[in-house]
Amino acid sequence: MKSKSSKEHSNKTISRGAASADMHTQGELKKSEELYRLLTDQSIMGIHIIQDGRIKYVNRATALITGYSREEMMNWEPDGYRRLLNPDDLPYVMEQSKKKQTGDPDIVVQYTWRMITKSGKMKWIESYSKTTLFEGLPADFVMMIDITARRKAEDALSQSEEKYRAIIENIEDGLAEIDLKGNFIFFNDAISKVHGYPRNELMQLNYRDYMDEENAKKIFARYNKVFHTGKSEKEAGYEIITKSGDRKYLDVSITPIKNDINRVIAFRVIVRDRTERRKAEEKSREIEERYKALIDRSLDFIYTIDFEGRFIDANEAALRRFDYKREDISSLNITSFLDEKQLLSVLKIMQELTETGTQKELAEIKLRHKDGSYVYVESKGSVVMSDGKPVAIQAVARDITERRQAAEEIRRTQEQMRAFAARLQTVREEERTHIAREVHDELGGALTGIKIDLSLLKKVAGEIKENSLKDPLLNQIYNTMKNIDNTMQAVRKIATELRPGILDDLGLVAAVEWQLDDFKKRTGINYEWVSTQKKIRLDEQGATALFRIFQETLTNVFRHADATIVHVRLHKKSGNYILAVEDNGRGITKNKIDDNKSLGLLGMRERVLAVGGHINIEGHPGKGTKVSVEIPVNQVGKYRMPERRSVS
The per-residue pLDDT for range 276-318, each reduced to its tens digit, is 888 888 887 887 778 777 777 788 888 899 989 999 999 888 9
Question: Among the three residues 399, 434, 468, which one is the final residue of a domain in this structure?
Answer: 399
For residue 639, name the pLDDT band (cuts at 50, 70, 90): very low
- In this prediction, residues 491-499 reach a mean pLDDT of 66
pLDDT number for residue 31: 66
Query: Taking the CB of residue 608, how many other CB atoms lie within 10 A of it?
Result: 22
Asked if 570 contacts 533 with a C-beta cutoff of 8 angstroms, the reply is yes
Per-residue confidence (pLDDT) for residue 438, from 0 to 100 = 64
pTM for the full predicted model: 0.39
How far is 554 from 579, CA to CA, in rounded Å?
13
Same domain, yes or no, for 535 and 639? yes
Q: How many CA atoms lie within 13 A of 561 on its CB side?
A: 27
- One domain, residues 250 and 308: no
pLDDT at 561: 87
Question: Could you say which of 455, 481, 499 is where a domain stops?
Answer: 499
The pLDDT assigned to 645 comes to: 36
Cβ distance 1 to 7 under 8 Å? Answer: no
Residue 538: phi, psi to the nearest 5? -120, 145
347 and 304 co-located in one domain = yes
pLDDT of residue 418: 64
Amino acid at residue number 588: I
Tell me, rounded to whole angstroms, the distance of Cα 92 from its chain centroid: 67
Is 29's pLDDT higher than 70?
no
477 and 527 both lie in a single domain: no
632-637-642 Cα angle (round to 5): 125
Q: Is residue 289 part of a domain?
A: no
In a domain, 12, yes or no: yes
Q: Per the domain annotation, does 160 fall within a domain?
A: no
Q: Residue 1: is its pLDDT beyond 50? A: no
Enclosing domain of residue 527: 507-648
Number of Cα atoms under 13 Å in the Cβ half of residue 557: 31
Does an H or E element contain 126, and which? strand 122-134
- The more confident residue out of 17 and 333 is 333
Angle ∠(535,539,541) on CA atoms, nearest 5: 125
Can you list the pairs that 457-461 forms with residues at least 24 positions away whose Cβ atoms lie under 8 Å?
A: none
pLDDT band at 87 (very low <50, low <70, confident <90, very high): very high
* Mean confidence (pLDDT) of the chain: 82
Q: How far apart are the first and last CA of the chain?
A: 213
pLDDT at residue 8 in the model: 54
For residues 213 and 465, the model is more confident at 213
Give the tens place of pLDDT for each residue, 233-287: 888 888 999 999 999 999 999 999 999 899 999 999 989 888 888 888 888 788 7
Least confident of 200-214, 255-269, 525-539, 599-613: 599-613
What is the pLDDT, as a whole number, of residue 439? 65
Q: What is the CATH number of the domain that holds 343?
A: 3.30.450.20
Clarify whether residues 529 and 616 are in a common domain: yes
Q: Which stretch of 51-65, 366-380, 445-459, 486-500 has the lowest confidence by average pLDDT?
A: 486-500
Whether residue 32 is predicted with pLDDT greater than 60 in this model: the reply is yes
Q: Does residue 382 fall inside a structural domain?
A: yes
Q: Residue 153 in contact with residue 137, Cβ under 8 Å? A: no
Cα angle vertex 55, ends 54, 58, to 5°? 175
Confidence of residue 601 (pLDDT cuts 50, 70, 90): confident
329 DSSP assignment: G
Q: How far apart are CA 605 and CA 39, in angstroms?
A: 127
The CA distance from 346 to 352, in Å, is 10
3-state SS class at 187: strand
Element (H, E) at 511: helix 508-523
**Phi and psi torsions of 198, nearest 5°:** -70, 160
Residue 517 pLDDT more than 80?
A: yes
Distance CA 57, CA 37 (A): 11
The pLDDT tens digits for 176-203 are 899 999 999 988 888 888 899 998 999 9
Across residues 548-556, what is the average pLDDT? 87
Q: Is residue 285 part of a domain?
A: no
Strands 233-241, 311-314: pairing is unpaired
Which CA distances in Å does 192 have to 147, 454, 574?
40, 133, 87
Q: Exposed e or buried b for every residue in 97-113, given b needs 16+ CB within 10 A?
A: beebeeeeeebeeeeeb
Q: What does the pLDDT average to over 409-418?
A: 75
**Same structural domain for residues 252 and 196?**
yes
**511 and 490 both lie in a single domain:** no
Distance CA 288, CA 293 (A): 8
Together in a domain, 545 and 641: yes
% residues pLDDT > 70 (the chain): 84
Q: Let me know whether 230 and 131 are in one domain.
A: no
Instruction: Give the containing element (helix H, strand E) for 220.
Output: helix 213-229
Residue 580 lies in a domain: yes
Q: Which residues contact 349 (CB under 8 A, 6 or more apart)?
A: 359, 363, 381
CA–CA separation, 152 vs 605, rounded Å? 99
pLDDT reading at 637 higher than 60:
no
**Gap between the Cα atoms of 140 and 91, Å rounded:** 17
Least confident of 164-173, 212-221, 224-233, 549-558: 164-173
d(CA 61, CA 59): 6
Over residues 438-484, the pLDDT tens digits come to: 665 666 667 777 777 777 777 777 777 777 787 888 888 888 888 87
Task: Among 126, 153, 180, identify where a domain stops.
Answer: 153
In a domain, 211, yes or no: yes
When divided into structural domains, the chain yields a total of 6
Domain assignment of residue 293, yes or no = no
Return the bridge partners of 531, or none.
Answer: 570
Same-domain pairing of 639 and 518 = yes
* Residue-level pLDDT at 223: 93
- Lowest mean pLDDT across 310-319, 342-351, 541-550, 636-645: 636-645
What distance lies between CA 309 and its chain's CA centroid? 25
Same domain, 350 and 455: no
Verify that 267 and 136 share a domain, yes or no. no
